[in-house]
Structure 1
Amino acid sequence: MSLGGTSGPRVCARICKLAGRRQRMLLRLLVSVAVAFCFLFSSLVSKDEDASPGVETMLVFSDHVRSFVNPVWTSSGRPVDRKRTGPRPCPVCYLPVEQALALRPAKPSLSPVLQSLNYVLEEILIPKESKSGSLFGGFPSLEERDKSYDIKDSMTVHCGFVRGKVPGLNTGFDIDEADHSEMQLCQSTVVASAIFGNYDVMQQPENISKFSKDTVCFFMFLEEETEAAIKNTTIGHTKKIGLWRVVVVRNLPFTDARRNGKVPKLLLHRLFPNARYSIWIDGKLKLVRDPYQVLERFLWRKNVSFAISRHYRRFDVFEEAEANKAGGKYDNTSIDYQIEFYKREGLTHYSSAKLPITSDVPEGCVIIREHIPITNLFTCLWFNEVDRFTSRDQLSFSTVRDKIRWRVNWTADMFLDCERRDFVVQSYHRELLEQRQSALRRWPPQRSPIARFQPRKMLPDNAAREPWKASATKKLSRKRARDKKSSSRRTH
């Protein structure tokens, strides 16, 4: 089409004349594919131009592209990425560690309204109602749950560890006194992770500055099953594996390994009461940026106290619930009960009316936070929802966030998931890695093909001097020459 005018047909005819039959067929196929792609792209752009600009438009367009490459559809009519590849890491601007440290705030951030947060302690606990959580969480009633959102200057709320004054010592989720003393000494920044149920392979942080190695606390929580699986690794008297200080937890409060992982994930401020900042990463992730660079980029530069990445595709809690049910992440009846409960409290589908809130669904594998009263309250109440309902913390995140946001001037900052993928690298779960390794062991090694050398045919003496004459010595048969002549006529 770009040739245009009268010269276009002449050029096309010349190309067809010079090209062979296979080349012409390949050219036609390429042209057909290009035309089809242009038509599809123009239709998508025209469809998206009718939509309102913003987050939804970009997500819809990305869904169209993914469905074109890998089309799978849900019952709601939205495409699902079968391979669940997600977005690739996007460029993130970090400052050098020295400059990041120079920008560290001299004072803690202000906590709106709430200035003092205390925690419920009860040695004798009796469930007050059905579905009120666990013994570790203290069985908070619905009335106590509602009061915990009545934010005041001083508050006392349920926040796990209710059976003792010192979290981790005879409270459930128990740790050794030596480990506990070491955790009390952490006063600046803690990077924490956990592996329960031998579910993941321990990942060592990379690109960590010497200053961070000396000042940042790296703690990895394990239980006895996972500890037994790494017996071949030398821990030593320092209880360290690489940068990680390994803490073995006993008397776990839950039978579900995923729910046990929510204790350090959401209650780090209780385990490290003197730490000012914390970075939580799931056990399947590897930290590949310096902690101070991460804090500067996602907290200090934005002047926020809590940061978490939003889900790369889903931004509606109802869709997240359906995805969890389809993936068998939790019992479907429990998920439905939780969503219906939230609907009665006013949960609605995400829309542009909620802006500047960009999503209701986090990718909760990384949490970056400053330990101040309002963020501590948020994670306490988030843990209480996980304790009362399902362990899928993505379903309860927006409910807790919005209940606090409606009462005080505070919210959790949500950054792009591709930015999260820049500073942590995701690995496969242990089960999948072992399956792949066993498959490789079962697969018989392929023998390299044995090259069979044939004696080299000698060319005529005149081949080296006059190669065109040597090729002419082999004459075509009359029948083959006749076929070639007829085919050339058909081509023209």
Structure 2
Amino acid sequence: MVLYARSWKNFSRDFAARRMMSKVVLFLAFVVAGIVWASMIRIALYSDTWACQSPLSCFSVIWSSRCSKTSNFPDMTKGYAPKPRKRCPIPFAKDPQGLDHSKVRRTPDQLVKGLSYIMEDEPDVNSGWQSLPPFGGGGQKRWFERGESLKLNTTMKVKVHCGFTRSSDAGMTVADMRYVKGCKYVVASGIFNPYSIIHQPTNVSVHSRKLFCFVMLVDEKILSLLKYRETVEEDIHGGLWAGIWRLIPLKHLPYNETRRNEEISKLLIHRLVPQAQYSIWVSSKMVLVADPLLILERYLWREGHSFAISQHGYHHSIYEEANASKRRKKYSRPRIDAQMKVYQSEGLEPWSTKKRVISDVPETSIIIREHTMMNNLFSCLWFNEVHLFTPLDQLSFGYVAHRLGESFKYFMFPFCEFNSLFELHSHSSDRFEMRFGGEINVA
């Protein structure tokens, strides 16, 4: 009996061991099969890539259908290739030298007869920037002021919040203030991201080089970085230059977010360069490949526009753009949702073909404008929305345009023309470090 019990115990132990061993073998078989399957897929993709890039013509013939330009097969050496940007020809004038800008008539200020800025709004003692709180603060008074600033009456004089309150120099040096006072035609950009690189515009005529001020706005930390990693020269007046760009540092910027600080250079050009009559704002990730005088003639003067901006490449409704921004994690979801709820409660309906505008969502990497009082007011109100809610300016453009109604007129040109104006260079830390080497430290 005892012998039977021992044999049963040994049998049970051996059975458990064999069962465990079979599970281990099965698991290893699955792992090996998975590795083999993944290797086969990778080999197949690499064979596609190698065949398409092979100098041997026989492979090109065999794989011709896969090697076509319209193929969706990835280049394994570079990752999945993006779709080519759709471009279309722009009907520019033939020669900028033949354009007489002095004969262009300025747009009259029919509705807004005077525009002034609130200067006594308890500015930050260190910076002089307006103390309008972000969304969720400030109480009823702030919301009342915001609502009143968006109402227009005939032949009115307007006083609004517009960025900084102390003065209109934003902490510029004396040399820079003296320089911008002479700027009537401006191409402006801004670098507040340590991974950005200064791109020199191309195809700029000698006439435009003399006529336009090319202003690159930076903060003090970025200026120190650019001095180390770019060729920055100083003129006899103390001005700093990087190629065609005049570098103008802004001191004590109010935000810790680079995107919000960039909005200052984008939306407050009329305050930073108060004598400007026309400006073209260009994102720092873009290389302008068209003459700026031809741009003004094409998008403003030819058809009598005073504000021009590109259509967005994908969306027409700001609610669509908000959902896309949340999917791509461009900003805090609760902040985006709160902004959309406010706009919806204040009567902004989703875009439809029944609206007077072709889209509520622009591509804000370029803004072409004449500095009329109405356009300056729009820029102030647009900046205030960015200040209150999120730095995603594409969400607030359509709302401010909706509130101003027919009083604010603008021209939205096709997105394919936008693609033809620029060469795109994405902000990339890897590319920056590959070019200059070492780690980035702007502290």
Query: Which TM-score tier does this pair reach, normalised by the shorter chain?
Result: 0.7 to 0.9
Cross-structure match for 2:195: 199
Q: 173, 177, 181: which is aligned to 2:174?
A: 177
- Which residues of 2 match residues 438-449 of structure 1 at below 5 A? none
TM-superposition CA deviations, 1:171-192 (whole Å, max 9, x none)? xx422121111111112x1000
**Alignment partners' CA distance in 2, 1:218 and 1:129:** 32
1:319/1:130 Cα in 2 relative to 1: closer, same or farther (>3 Å)? closer
**Alignment partners' CA distance in 2, 1:434 and 1:323:** 28
Cross-structure match for 2:405: 405
Cross-structure match for 2:157: 154
**Alignment partners' CA distance in 2, 1:87 and 1:413:** 22
1:233/1:432 Cα in 2 relative to 1: closer, same or farther (>3 Å)? closer
**Alignment partners' CA distance in 2, 1:383 and 1:84:** 32
Report the Cα offset of residue 142 of structure 1.
Answer: 1.1
**Alignment partners' CA distance in 1, 2:134 and 2:96:** 53
SS in 2 for 1:283: coil
**Alignment partners' CA distance in 2, 1:430 and 1:222:** 18
SS in 1 for 2:246: strand
Cross-structure match for 2:48: none
Whichever of the two has the greater Rg, that structure is 1
Report the Cα offset of residue 315 of structure 1.
Answer: 1.0
Q: 114, 119, 122: which is aligned to 1:121?
A: 119
AA aligned to 2:332 is D
1:333/1:86 Cα in 2 relative to 1: closer, same or farther (>3 Å)? farther
**Alignment partners' CA distance in 2, 1:220 and 1:438:** 21
TM-score calculated relative to the size of structure 2: 0.74
Cross-structure match for 1:228: 224
**Alignment partners' CA distance in 1, 2:120 and 2:190:** 27
Count how many residue pairs are aligned between Structure 1 and Structure 2: 355
1:111 to 2:109 alignment: yes
Q: Are 2:96 and 2:205, in contact at CA under 8 Å, matched by a contact in 1? A: no
Cross-structure match for 1:396: 396
Cross-structure match for 1:326: 327
Report the Cα offset of residue 233 of structure 1.
Answer: 2.9
Which consecutive segments of 4 or more residues in structure 1 shift more than 4 A? Answer: 82-86, 125-130, 435-439
1:344/1:214 Cα in 2 relative to 1: closer, same or farther (>3 Å)? same
Cross-structure match for 1:297: 298
**Alignment partners' CA distance in 2, 1:225 and 1:312:** 34
Q: Which moved more, 1:242-251 or 1:101-110?
A: 101-110
TM-score calculated relative to the size of structure 1: 0.67
Q: Which moved more, 1:103-112 or 1:224-233?
A: 103-112
- Which residues of 2 match residues 145-294 of structure 1 at below 5 A? 145-152=146-153, 153-162=156-165, 164=166, 166-168=167-169, 173-187=170-184, 189-230=185-226, 231-238=228-235, 239-294=240-295
**Alignment partners' CA distance in 2, 1:86 and 1:400:** 33
1:380 to 2:380 alignment: yes
**Alignment partners' CA distance in 2, 1:145 and 1:84:** 42
TM-superposition CA deviations, 1:59-92 (whole Å, max 9, x none)? xxxxxxx9x969xxxxxxxxxxx97647322111
1:311/1:98 Cα in 2 relative to 1: closer, same or farther (>3 Å)? closer
Report the Cα offset of residue 102 of structure 1.
Answer: 3.0
**Alignment partners' CA distance in 2, 1:348 and 1:156:** 28
**Alignment partners' CA distance in 1, 2:133 and 2:433:** 44
Q: Are 1:114 and 1:373, in contact at CA under 8 Å, matched by a contact in 2? A: yes
**Alignment partners' CA distance in 2, 1:218 and 1:438:** 25
1:130/1:358 Cα in 2 relative to 1: closer, same or farther (>3 Å)? closer
AA aligned to 1:262 is E
AA aligned to 1:207 is N
SS in 2 for 1:314: coil
* Unaligned residue ranges in structure 1 (runs of 5+): 1-25, 34-65, 71-81, 440-492
TM-superposition CA deviations, 1:27-78 (whole Å, max 9, x none)? xx98xx9xxxxxxxxxxxxxxxxxxxxxxxxxxxxxxxx9x969xxxxxxxx
**Alignment partners' CA distance in 1, 2:160 and 2:95:** 37
AA aligned to 2:284 is G
1:237/1:339 Cα in 2 relative to 1: closer, same or farther (>3 Å)? same
Report the Cα offset of residue 368 of structure 1.
Answer: 0.1
TM-superposition CA deviations, 1:385-419 (whole Å, max 9, x none)? 0000000000011010111125x2x3221111111
- Which residues of 2 match residues 351-362 of structure 1 at below 5 A? 351-355=352-356, 357-362=357-362
Report the Cα offset of residue 132 of structure 1.
Answer: 6.5
**Alignment partners' CA distance in 2, 1:385 and 1:319:** 18
TM-superposition CA deviations, 1:334-356 (whole Å, max 9, x none)? 0000001101011222111114x
**Alignment partners' CA distance in 1, 2:279 and 2:436:** 37
**Alignment partners' CA distance in 2, 1:269 and 1:83:** 40
1:432/1:405 Cα in 2 relative to 1: closer, same or farther (>3 Å)? farther
Report the Cα offset of residue 117 of structure 1.
Answer: 0.6
1:141 to 2:142 alignment: yes
Q: Are 1:193 and 1:220, in contact at CA under 8 Å, matched by a contact in 2? A: yes
Cross-structure match for 1:433: 431
Q: Are 2:196 and 2:432, in contact at CA under 8 Å, matched by a contact in 1? A: no
SS in 2 for 1:425: strand
1:390/1:232 Cα in 2 relative to 1: closer, same or farther (>3 Å)? closer
**Alignment partners' CA distance in 1, 2:195 and 2:134:** 31
TM-superposition CA deviations, 1:213-235 (whole Å, max 9, x none)? 11210011112232232224332
1:83/1:417 Cα in 2 relative to 1: closer, same or farther (>3 Å)? farther
Q: Are 1:304 and 1:413, in contact at CA under 8 Å, matched by a contact in 2? A: yes
Cross-structure match for 2:4: none
Cross-structure match for 2:311: 310
Cross-structure match for 1:344: 345
**Alignment partners' CA distance in 2, 1:140 and 1:411:** 30
**Alignment partners' CA distance in 2, 1:236 and 1:143:** 48
TM-superposition CA deviations, 1:199-220 (whole Å, max 9, x none)? 3111001111111111210011
User: What do you get for the CA RMSD once the two structures are aligned?
Assistant: 3.0
1:364 to 2:364 alignment: yes
AA aligned to 2:135 is K
SS in 2 for 1:270: helix
1:437/1:235 Cα in 2 relative to 1: closer, same or farther (>3 Å)? closer
Cross-structure match for 1:4: none
- Which residues of 2 match residues 8-27 of structure 1 at below 5 A? none
SS in 1 for 2:187: strand
AA aligned to 1:429 is H
SS in 2 for 1:213: helix
1:131 to 2:157 alignment: no
Report the Cα offset of residue 99 of structure 1.
Answer: 6.4
**Alignment partners' CA distance in 2, 1:221 and 1:125:** 22
AA aligned to 1:195 is I
